[in-house]
């Protein structure tokens, strides 16, 4: 075996987004493309000689090939050990768990999250730091800067490593340990939740369905729900991870998890339903013919947190992304704990958790988590809900409606316009910014715009400032309309429009969200000139 130094030229498009570098598979398959980015990571993170790295991914197409390249490059760049998930598998929260448990220097996670997989679909790569969370903007900017002037990469000339059996092998001077991808994570879940109470619930005739969507959480859900907790065989659907996710779109929402939705809204609906995404960090929660919005889910978990053993001492604080509804804010006020409003991106929560300022956090994009790891965690949220259901012995719908009666209801919806021409999407956002002066104080029916801004955030831990995080129209009654370009797509631009209206009157809580938000939807379309500027007369997805 010898180390090769391979001459290369920079690619101009390797700027990481909020969750690493995501491109179509054919882009990554270009000669030197993946290698350039991996070398840029290694050149930027300043790992000491002999450091340990965690490596794994969500099993999508190109995952196994990329792992072999990264292993050989890690060996050539002086790493002493790599912990790799068996079969190349590690869910994103499990990777964070392994990084933290074994105190490694960090990890490389291969995933494009909830995006489709396959030979012409999406692939992604990101570096997570020693706290288990996504790299800071300082690190990702350094990686991008390095990618723009890279001239060579180092790789070991060696055979591929066997990944399908646990065990240890040597790759040059570097040890590769293939680990069970599920065990450490499952043990952590068992330490946080009352598995005895959940096991009793599932043994009492309480029926569940968990849709893994042929994505990474299948093995995790099977081990925890069916093996450790005793859910009947078949409770976990689509449990085998597939490179193309079975041709589906592994995004756990009412549109893409349609098979589960049909089951949960059917005549013989189970008591509880849930789904997770491509890399296992997102979740959707359903009761019998009842959908729980991610914003409400965070608020309900916070209000009931002390029912779970891992949270009985209470919460240090709550954090939510700016587009997420203010439902959690109301719980925080009742608990007399702080609630932080951050930009979208889990790294902002990581800073707050590392500083001990928050325990729970969540994003409206079906991501919820806590300080047990530094990533959002889909299966963790499902187990938290099952713990609450076991303790309260009430249906999902009853728990949520009681929550609304106590705290009020934040009617909430998100409209996604996917694969827009970038020029049109950016033009719409600039139009809104140019309209701030004329919109402030303007009346639209019963709604009056109090103020408009482009959200900025000063991190209370490190003082860093993040600007241009989303245009907000804030109304005098607390309602909000938010426009934001997502950083998770690979094809054109994704425009997200968030709509929120608070209702304290319990007699109005029965309304459908789209009905309650009708006026705000009309205002959003009017002020943004959305149809005129994009040519779209309806969103791709409504959640």
Angle, CA 507 vertex, CA 505 and CA 508 arms, to 5°? 75
What mean pLDDT is reported for the chain?
Answer: 95
Residues involved in catalysis: 113
Q: Which residues pair with 360 in a beta bridge?
A: 318, 370
Q: Where are the domains of the chain?
A: 2-181, 185-407, 409-542
For residue 345, the model assigns a pLDDT of 81
- Sheet containing 447-454: give its strands across: 443-444, 447-454, 471-475, 480-486, 493-503, 409-420, 541-542
For residue 489, the model assigns a pLDDT of 52
Q: Which helix (H) or strand (E) holds 101?
A: helix 92-101
For residue 541, the model assigns a pLDDT of 85
For residue 331, the model assigns a pLDDT of 98
Assigned CATH for 185-407: 3.40.120.10
Residue with tokens 């013989």, as numbered in its chain: 268
pLDDT tens for each residue of 120-133: 999 999 999 999 99
Distance CA 450, CA 480 (A): 10
Residue 542 backbone phi and psi in degrees, to 5: -115, 125
Low-confidence ranges of the chain (pLDDT < 50): none
Q: Are 339 and 320 in contact (CB under 8 A)?
A: yes
Paired sense of beta strands 447-454 and 443-444, if any: antiparallel
For residue 490, the model assigns a pLDDT of 56
pLDDT tens for each residue of 496-533: 999 999 999 999 999 999 999 999 999 999 999 999 99
For residue 313, the model assigns a pLDDT of 97
Specify the CATH architecture of the domain 409-542.
Answer: 2-Layer Sandwich (3.30)
- 3-state SS record for 467-532: CCCCEEEEECCCCEEEEEEECCCCCCEEEEEEEEEEECCHHHCCCCHHHHCHHHHHHHHHHHCHHH
Distance CA 200, CA 291 (A): 24
For residue 492, the model assigns a pLDDT of 79
Q: Which residues of 486-499 are buried (b: 16+ CB within 10 A; e: fewer)?
A: bebbbeebbbbbbb
Same-fold call for 185-407 versus 409-542: no
Q: 394 to each of 161, 272, 457, 541, how far by Cα in Å?
A: 50, 11, 39, 31
For residue 525, the model assigns a pLDDT of 97
Sign of CA dihedral 407, 456, 418, 142: negative
Fold of the CATH domain 2-181: Alpha-D-Glucose-1,6-Bisphosphate; Chain A, domain 3 (3.40.120)
For residue 491, the model assigns a pLDDT of 66
Residue 109 backbone phi and psi in degrees, to 5: -115, 130
């Amino acid at each position: 075996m010898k180390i090769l130094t391979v001459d290369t030229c920079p690619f101009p498009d390797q700027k990481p987004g909020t969750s690493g570098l995501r491109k179509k598979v054919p882009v990554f398959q270009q000669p030197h493309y993946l290698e350039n980015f991996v070398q840029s990571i290694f050149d930027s993170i300043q790992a000491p000689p002999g450091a340990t790295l965690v490596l794994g991914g969500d099993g999508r197409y190109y995952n196994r090939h990329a792992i072999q390249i990264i292993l050989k490059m890690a060996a050539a760049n002086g790493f002493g050990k790599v912990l790799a998930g068996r079969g190349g598998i590690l869910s994103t929260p499990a990777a964070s768990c392994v990084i933290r448990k074994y105190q490694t220097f960090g990890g490389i996670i291969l995933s494009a999250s909830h995006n489709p997989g396959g030979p012409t679909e999406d692939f992604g790569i990101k570096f997570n730091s020693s706290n288990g969370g996504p790299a800071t903007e300082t690190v990702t900017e350094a990686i991008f800067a390095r990618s723009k002037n890279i001239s060579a990469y180092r790789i070991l000339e060696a055979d591929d490593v066997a990944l399908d059996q646990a065990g240890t092998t040597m790759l040059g001077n570097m040890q590769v340990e293939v680990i069970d991808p599920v065990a450490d994570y499952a043990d952590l879940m068992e330490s946080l939740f009352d598995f005895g109470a959940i096991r009793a619930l599932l043994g009492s005739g309480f029926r569940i369905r968990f849709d893994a969507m042929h994505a990474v959480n299948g093995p995790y859900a099977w081990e925890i729900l069916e093996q450790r907790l005793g859910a009947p065989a078949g409770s976990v659907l689509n449990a085998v991870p597939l490179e193309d996710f079975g041709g589906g779109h592994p995004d756990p929402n009412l549109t893409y998890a349609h098979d589960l939705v049909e089951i949960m809204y059917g005549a013989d609906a189970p008591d509880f339903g849930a789904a997770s995404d491509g890399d296992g960090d997102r979740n959707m929660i359903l009761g019998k013919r009842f959908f729980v919005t991610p914003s409400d889910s965070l608020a309900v978990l916070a209000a009931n947190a002390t029912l779970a053993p891992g949270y009985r001492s209470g919460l240090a604080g709550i954090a939510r992304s700016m587009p997420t509804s203010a439902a959690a804010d109301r719980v925080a006020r009742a608990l007399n704990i702080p609630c932080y409003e951050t930009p979208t991106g889990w790294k902002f929560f990581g800073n707050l958790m590392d500083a001990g300022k928050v325990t729970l956090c969540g994003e409206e994009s079906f991501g919820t988590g806590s300080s047990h790891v530094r990533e959002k965690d889909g299966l963790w949220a499902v187990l938290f809900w099952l713990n609450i259901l076991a303790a309260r012995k009430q249906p999902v719908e009853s728990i949520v409606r009681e929550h609304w009666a106590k705290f009020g209801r934040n009617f909430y919806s998100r409209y996604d316009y996917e694969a827009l021409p970038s020029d049109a999407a950016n033009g719409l956002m600039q139009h809104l910014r140019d309209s701030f002066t004329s919109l402030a104080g303007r009346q639209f029916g019963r709604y009056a715009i109090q103020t408009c801004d482009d959200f900025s955030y000063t991190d209370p831990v490190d003082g860093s400032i993040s600007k241009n995080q989303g245009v907000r129209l804030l109304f005098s009654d607390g309602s909000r309309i938010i426009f934001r370009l997502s950083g998770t797509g690979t094809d054109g631009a994704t425009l997200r429009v968030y709509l929120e209206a608070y209702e304290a009157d319990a007699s109005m809580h029965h309304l459908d969200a789209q009905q309650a938000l009708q006026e705000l939807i009309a205002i959003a379309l009017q002020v943004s000139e959305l149809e005129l500027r994009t040519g779209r007369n309806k969103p791709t997805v409504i959640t």
